[in-house]
Amino acid sequence: MVLAAACVGIAFDVKLALAYVPAGLCALIAALFLGTASRPAVEIHESYLSIGKRIIPWMDIRRIDRTGWNAPLIVRITLFDDSRLRLIYPGDLDSCNSLLRNLRRLSRDALIDGIPYRQYWGEVLSSGAERKTQSPNRYRILRPEDEAEVERLYQRLKTVGNLDQKNSADE
Per-residue pLDDT 10s for the chain (171 aa) are: 666 766 666 666 555 667 777 888 999 999 988 888 888 889 999 999 999 899 999 999 999 999 888 888 899 999 999 899 999 888 889 999 999 999 999 998 899 999 998 888 887 655 555 555 555 666 667 778 888 898 888 888 888 877 666 655 554
Q: What is the pTM of this model?
A: 0.58
Of 115, 111, 67, 108, the closest CA to residue 88 belongs to 67
pLDDT of residue 156: 85
Largest CA distance in the chain: 118
Amino acid making up residue 156? R
**Cα gap 40→165, rounded to integer Å:** 83
